Amino acid sequence: MPLLRQAGPDVLLTVHVQPRAARDEVAGRRGEALHLRLTAPPVGGAANAACLTLLAQLLAVPKARLRLVAGPRSRTKVIRIAEATVAEVAAHLTPHL
């Protein structure tokens, strides 16, 4: 699965999450996924929530436009970004890759 792909009016973003890190940050790419380090533990959905919060900040979009569509219990997740284009998302992520 590619890092970014258009799905109708939305974009699907593949991320790899590393919970319990020292700080919340983008750690580049990991294969075909954006590698995120998160301070939150993988318990009770805390890492999933932290993932969406960090992505909302990076992409400068409201958190309500982001939805976890695959991988809620996996380190590899797919996030749906509503009403976006691959070019817009890539422009926000490029400085972090």
pLDDT of residue 93: 86
pLDDT of residue 35: 94
pLDDT > 60? residue 1: no
Domain boundaries, the chain: 4-96
Three-state SS at 81: strand
pLDDT > 60? residue 32: yes
User: How would residue 94 be classed by pLDDT, with cut points 50, 70 and 90?
Assistant: confident
pLDDT of residue 2: 76
Identify the CATH number of the domain defined by range 4-96: 3.30.1200.10
Torsion of CA 17, 38, 84, 70, to 10 degrees: 40
d(CA 18, CA 75): 7
Residues 15-40, mean pLDDT to the nearest whole number: 93
